[in-house]
Amino acid sequence: MSNGIRRLSIEPLTKQAFAEFGDVIESDNSDFFMINSGSTRRYHKLATTDVQDQDGEAIISIFQATPLSYPLTIKMLERHPLGSQAFVPLLGQPYLIVVAPKGDNPTLANSRAFLSNGRQGVNYHKGVWHHPVLALTDQDQFLIVDRGGEGHNCDEVYFDSDRVALHLEDLPTEDNKEEQRLAKVL
């Protein structure tokens, strides 16, 4: 802890660890069935969209993001009270996720950070607090499935104190393979 800012540990992204916040969208360890005369595996219903409040509709977008400067002090979180929001990486690059539980008064004391391996997307459940996209590589792209329509669907909260920081040297590694791969792309 330096300057009153707690260092947030970064965990590998797993379905079990992320369940409180939403769904992990990945084919690894997911059930499938064969379609197209046996030439295609369908990993069915890995997440569901929740966008019907106030006549919302599901929309698909692409975000192109660049990395922020690290160590990164988390100063704000946002939530979408009227719909879920899914992020699926398009270029296979690892990225970071910061979340906090649902509720009207979020704190960073309960926040968690995860590292996607670049083949995992996330679907934030309606009302889950999260940091905007945290790309680790330049011009990374994400397919976004979220809500369009009437109504206020983005709340932001800013923290004057109780901040946390992310340090890239805290990235989890699997026998340092991921660290070596990130070193090449960062």
CA distances, 149 to each of 57, 112, 172 (Å): 6, 30, 38
- The total number of structural domains that make up the chain: 1
Domain-located, residue 89: yes
Distance CA 74, CA 117 (A): 21
Domain-located, residue 92: yes
Question: Cα 4 to the chain's mean position, in Å?
Answer: 26
- Residues 6+ positions from 87 with CB-CB distance below 8 Å: 63, 121, 122, 123, 124, 133, 142, 143, 144
pLDDT tens sequence across 119-173: 999 999 999 999 999 999 999 999 999 999 999 999 999 998 889 999 999 999 8
Domain-located, residue 156: yes
CATH code of 170's domain = 2.60.120.480
Domain-located, residue 37: yes
Q: Confirm if 107 and 162 have CB atoms less than 8 A apart.
A: yes
Domain-located, residue 23: yes
Q: According to the model, what pLDDT value does residue 13 have?
A: 98
Domain-located, residue 79: yes
Domain coverage including residue 14: 6-184
Q: According to the model, what pLDDT value does residue 1 have?
A: 46
pLDDT tens sequence across 35-87: 999 999 999 999 999 999 999 999 999 999 999 999 999 999 999 999 999 99
Domain-located, residue 150: yes
Residue 106 has pLDDT above 80, yes or no: yes
Q: Confirm if 186 and 137 have CB atoms less than 8 A apart.
A: yes
Q: What is the pTM of this model?
A: 0.90
Domain-located, residue 1: no
